[in-house]
Structure 1
Amino acid sequence: MDDIRTLEARARREGTPLIDGDTATFVWKGSRPVFLQGDFQDWRGTPLPLERVGRGLWVRSLALPEDAYVEYALLDAKGRRLRDPFNERHSDNGFGDVNACFWMPKGEATALGQRVRGVPRGRVTRHQVETHQWAVGRKRAVALYAPPVPGPVPLLVVLDGDDYLRRVQLPTLVDNLIAQGRMRPVAMAFVSNGGPARAVEYTCSEATVGFLEQHVLSLARERLSLLDTRRTPGVHAVLGASLGGLMALYTAQRLPHVFGHVLSQSGAFSIDGNDMVVFDLARRTGQPPLHVWMDCGRFEALVDGNQRLPPLLQATGHRVTYEAYSGGHNYPAWQSHLSRGLEEIFPPAG
Structure 2
Amino acid sequence: MNAVQSARIEEFRRTRDVERLTSDLRAAGGPLVEDAEGDDALVTFVWIGPQRQVSVRGAQLFEDRNAMSHPMRHVDGTDVWYLSVLAPRGVTTVYQYLVDDPFLDADKTDMALLGRLVAESRDRSFADPFNPRRMFPQAAKIAGVDSAPPEQWDSVLELPGLEPAPWFDGAEPPLTRHRLVSEALGNERTVSVYAPPGEGPHPLVILLDGESWLSVARLHVAVHELITSGAMAPAVVAFVDNPPDGMTARMIELACHSATTRMLTDELLPLLRSRFPLTEDVIVGGNSLGGLAAAFAAFERPDVFTAVLSTSGSHWWGYRPGPGGWGKDDEPEWLTRQFAAAPYKPVRFWIDVGRLETGASPLSPGVDQRAANRHLRTVLTAKGNDVTFHEAPGGHDFATFRRSAVRGLLTLLPG
The TM-score, its normalising length taken from structure 2, stands at 0.73
What is the distance in 2 between the residues matched to 1:286 and 1:81? Answer: 48
Q: What one-letter code is carried by the residue in structure 2 that aligns with 1:50?
A: R
After superposition, the Cα gap between the structure-2 partners of 1:322 and 1:51, relative to the gap in structure 1 and judged at 3 Å, is farther
After superposition, the Cα gap between the structure-2 partners of 1:324 and 1:56, relative to the gap in structure 1 and judged at 3 Å, is same
Q: What one-letter code is carried by the residue in structure 2 that aligns with 1:38?
A: G
The question of 1:102 aligning with 2:102 is answered no
After superposition, the Cα gap between the structure-2 partners of 1:83 and 1:148, relative to the gap in structure 1 and judged at 3 Å, is closer
What is the distance in 1 between the residues matched to 2:225 and 2:127? Answer: 35
SS in 2 for 1:299: coil
What is the distance in 2 between the residues matched to 1:207 and 1:56? Answer: 53
SS in 2 for 1:154: strand
Match of 2:389 in 1: 322
Contact 2:354 2:396 in 1 (8 A): yes
Match of 1:93 in 2: 137
Match of 2:294 in 1: 248
The number of aligned residues is 336
Match of 1:38 in 2: 58
Match of 1:155 in 2: 204
Match of 1:299 in 2: 356
Q: What one-letter code is carried by the residue in structure 2 that aligns with 1:114?
A: D
1:105-158 per-residue CA deviation (whole Å, 9 max, x = no partner) reads 2226622123369xxx6x5221112312x0132x33222322112111211111
Q: CA deviation at 1:257?
A: 1.5
What is the distance in 1 between the residues matched to 2:164 and 2:318? Answer: 31
Match of 1:165 in 2: 214
**1:62 aligned to which of 47, 64, 85:** 85
SS in 2 for 1:259: coil
SS in 1 for 2:226: helix
SS in 2 for 1:10: helix
Q: What one-letter code is carried by the residue in structure 2 that aligns with 1:92?
A: F
Q: CA deviation at 1:318?
A: 0.7
1:166-197 per-residue CA deviation (whole Å, 9 max, x = no partner) reads 22223322221122222211112222213231
After superposition, the Cα gap between the structure-2 partners of 1:319 and 1:17, relative to the gap in structure 1 and judged at 3 Å, is same
What is the distance in 2 between the residues matched to 1:178 and 1:12? Answer: 36
**2:181 aligned to which of 111, 119, 130:** 130
What is the distance in 1 between the residues matched to 2:302 and 2:100? Answer: 51
The question of 1:143 aligning with 2:210 is answered no
Alignment of 1:336-347 (within 5 A): 336-347=403-414
After superposition, the Cα gap between the structure-2 partners of 1:67 and 1:54, relative to the gap in structure 1 and judged at 3 Å, is farther
What is the distance in 1 between the residues matched to 2:256 and 2:270? Answer: 21
What is the distance in 1 between the residues matched to 2:224 and 2:26? Answer: 39
Match of 1:232 in 2: none
What is the distance in 2 between the residues matched to 1:165 and 1:294? Answer: 21
Match of 1:186 in 2: 235
After superposition, the Cα gap between the structure-2 partners of 1:14 and 1:129, relative to the gap in structure 1 and judged at 3 Å, is closer
After superposition, the Cα gap between the structure-2 partners of 1:215 and 1:24, relative to the gap in structure 1 and judged at 3 Å, is same
Match of 2:307 in 1: 261
What is the distance in 2 between the residues matched to 1:144 and 1:58? Answer: 45
**1:309 aligned to which of 364, 367, 376:** 376
What is the distance in 1 between the residues matched to 2:34 and 2:346? Answer: 46
Deviates more, 1:72-81 or 1:203-212: 72-81
Match of 1:334 in 2: 401
What is the distance in 1 between the residues matched to 2:202 and 2:100? Answer: 55
What is the distance in 2 between the residues matched to 1:319 and 1:298? Answer: 22
Match of 1:223 in 2: 275
Match of 1:113 in 2: 168
Q: CA deviation at 1:305?
A: 1.1
Contact 1:66 1:107 in 2 (8 A): yes
Contact 1:282 1:312 in 2 (8 A): yes
The sequence identity of aligned pairs, in percent, is 31
Q: What one-letter code is carried by the residue in structure 2 that aligns with 1:205?
A: H
After superposition, the Cα gap between the structure-2 partners of 1:222 and 1:280, relative to the gap in structure 1 and judged at 3 Å, is same
Q: CA deviation at 1:162?
A: 1.9
Q: What one-letter code is carried by the residue in structure 1 that aligns with 2:258?
A: E
